[in-house]
Structure 1
Amino acid sequence: MIYKNSVEKISPEMLKGFFVDWPDHPTPETHLKLLLNSSHVVIALDENTNKVVGFITAISDGVLSAYIPFLEVLPEYKNKGIGKQLVERMLNELDQIYMVDLCCDDDLVPYYEKYGMTKSNAMLIRNYTMQSGSTN
């Protein structure tokens, strides 16, 4: 497995299969756009297939705060330590930031607690008509 901190040489064709269980998931082209627009990104690349198999993103002001909106590993690559590597590498990138926030479902709280994160409250809005990221 190769871990990269950039999307250089990543194409939409390499990003297929993500956003599992999303009713209206982003296209690979939109996925690439969200990676490009993130402040920080770590990508797991299967060197045998040259396919992206996992990614994590962060959006940060570069001073005090960062938010991690996405961590995803393709289903066939789960339980192989890839997610752990992605989280650890991202937290290492953000180690000079005062606050790193992340929202997750209750069943994922124990996973993130292993990285020193503390359960908190969050408020959010979900505009499901824009779930795919398409403006068409």
Structure 2
Amino acid sequence: MIARSARTPWNYSSSDVVKLNASVGWFPERTEDDYAEALARGPAVGAWRSEQLVGFARAITDGAIHAYVDDVMVHPEHRREGLAVQLVDALCDAIASVRTVTLFCGEDLVPLYERASFTRTQQVILHRQHPRQ
């Protein structure tokens, strides 16, 4: 089941997201507090099997012009079930008022996001990281 939240009280905690994050092997430095802050600021969707969060995606958005899809993750035991595309579609529905939705991914994931109606562009991606104080 896909559940959504757009700046409403969560029916799960940031610890659920941290556990899912650990299962996919991403960003071990991210804490429950980090996700609690992120979840309070923007829309997100989750996929559940029984009581376990097995999929998650969130957006960073200004609510009108631009949104960035981030943290699309599916528990390894639930991959290849179509959850990632369902999550991204549900997230895009939640931010339908935004004109441009962007995401960044590795070359191997382009076909997945094309199934969610994203198209490849020729833009160059640059990053600037700030150390956390």
Q: Which runs of 5+ in 1 are unaligned?
A: none
Q: Judge conservation of contact 1:14–1:52 (CA < 8 Å) in 2.
A: yes
Question: Given residue 48 of structure 2, which amino acid in structure 1 is its aligned partner?
Answer: L
Q: Offset at 1:14?
A: 2.5
The 1:75–1:29 alpha-carbon spacing in structure 2 relative to 1, beyond 3 Å, is farther
Aligned length: 128
State the Cα RMSD in Å: 2.3
Q: 38, 42, 47: which one pairs with 2:45? A: 42
User: How many percent of aligned residue pairs carry the same amino acid?
Assistant: 30
Report the 3-state secondary structure (helix = DSSP H, G, I; strand = E; otherwise coil) of the residue aligned with 1:4: strand
Q: Distance in 2 between matches of 1:69 and 1:7?
A: 20
Q: How far 1:7 moved relative to its partner?
A: 5.2
Q: Of Structure 1 and Structure 2, which has the larger fraction of its residues in helix? A: 2
1:116 aligns to what SS in structure 2?
Answer: coil
| Structure 2 unaligned regions, length at least 5 | none
SS in 2 for 1:18: helix
Q: Is the 8 A contact 2:55 2:72 kept in 1?
A: yes
- Which stretches of structure 1, 4 residues or more, deviate above 4 A after TM superposition? none
TM-score norm. by structure 1 comes to: 0.77
CA distance in 2, matches of 1:58, 1:12: 15
